[in-house]
Amino acid sequence: MSNTAGQVIRCKAAVAWEAGKPLVIEEVEVAPPQANEVRLKIIFTSLCHTDVYFWEAKGQAPLFPRIFGHEASGIVESVGPGVTDLQPGDHVLPVFTGECKECRHCKSEESNMCDLLRINTDRGHMLHDGQSRFSINGKPIYHFLGTSTFSEYTVVHIGCVAKINPAAPLDKVCVLSCGLSTGLGATLNVAKPKKGQSVAIFGLGAVGLAAAEGARISGASRIIGVDLNPNRFEEAKKFGVTEFVNPKDYDKPVQQVIAEMTDGGVDRSVECTGSIQAMVSAFECVHDGWGVAVLVGVPNKDDSFKTHPMNLLNERTLKGTFFGNYKPRSDLPSVVEMYMNKELEVEKFITHYVSFSEINKAFDYMLKGESLRCIIRMDG
């Protein structure tokens, strides 16, 4: 790959020309990396709900044409000035959020919310010069989340690249660069259930199932899955979920149902839906005195969280988390090692594989609710 360093690379990319329209495989030009940037050859990528949400432009000002994608694995092709901890050939995971290692958040042991590289869905260009590294016939194509992995080559800020074990299978660990790590970390790093405790998981999509996986790894005795779709229940058993609650089956609040099931409430809960009602239920279903509820889902901008102050005064704890409290560069390599050491099971999250030329099938699978994660092979 070194013979392309410093040159414009022409490659295939799946371009979203309009909101909600099928992606089109185009030949794009990918400029060389600038200061503190790396150019990656993407080997595998996968589709996340975030890609679909912004592709549909729900509640957002359209920013098209655009190259989506942010869950992926790849190999460093070349590096820009100032990059010292990566070199061509390194195996990496690009990440939608970053770690500059210089700001107060990055230097804090309690935060992973980098001031410089915090998620920004509105930015369609690189930080260094406000320009895009993608173009077609001289016309710029917008970036997405600083990653744009639906391209055979992409340019990413160094702070959004995690170097990983070169022995890790890239077709598996690519799913660790977003949703799975978010749910896993929400349980392991924030909720922190003790062995033998009970955990309620609200929402049994990929993120919720990753949270359940974290509860399983922690040794939880009861993992209660809460979801409005009973079709998800059988699949969730593979992730350690032991009991299920469908709020539609009851004429009373689900938090009351769970409290009755567990002699006063669960020890921990993790909310992974974005529904404000689910957030309230997740908080109010934990046991007083020691219960901890963790919010992961992103609510609508006009939502407000309402609960009686006595729920807090009675020593229930409410927490939020971003990317499972993982610092991308520092912590993701250890998550990969969990998989390599067979502590974390990743294969069961992967339900489909498609070739790059069939990328729109991945959207169809997700929109129909048929997939957890669909892996896209960039060589096909």
Please name the residues in contact with 319: beta carbons below 8 A apart, sequence gap of 6 or more. 190, 191, 292, 293, 294, 295
333: left (phi over 0), alpha (psi -120 to 50) or beta: alpha
* HEC letters along 237-303: HHHCCCEEECHHHCCCCHHHHHHHHCCCCECEEEECCCCHHHHHHHHHCECCCCCEEEECCCCCCCC
Name residue, tokens 């009351």.
256
Q: Which residues are catalytic?
A: 48-50, 70-71, 100, 103, 106, 114, 118, 178, 373
Using CA atoms, how far apart are residues 342 and 329, in angstroms rounded to an integer?
21
Torsion angle, alpha carbons of 169, 172, 174, 178, to 10: -140
Name residue, tokens 């077709």.
171
Question: CA nearest 183: which of 297, 86, 58?
Answer: 297
Using CA atoms, how far apart are residues 84 and 322, in angstroms rounded to an integer?
28
Query: For strand 198-202 and strand 222-226, is the pairing parallel, antiparallel, or unpaired?
Result: parallel
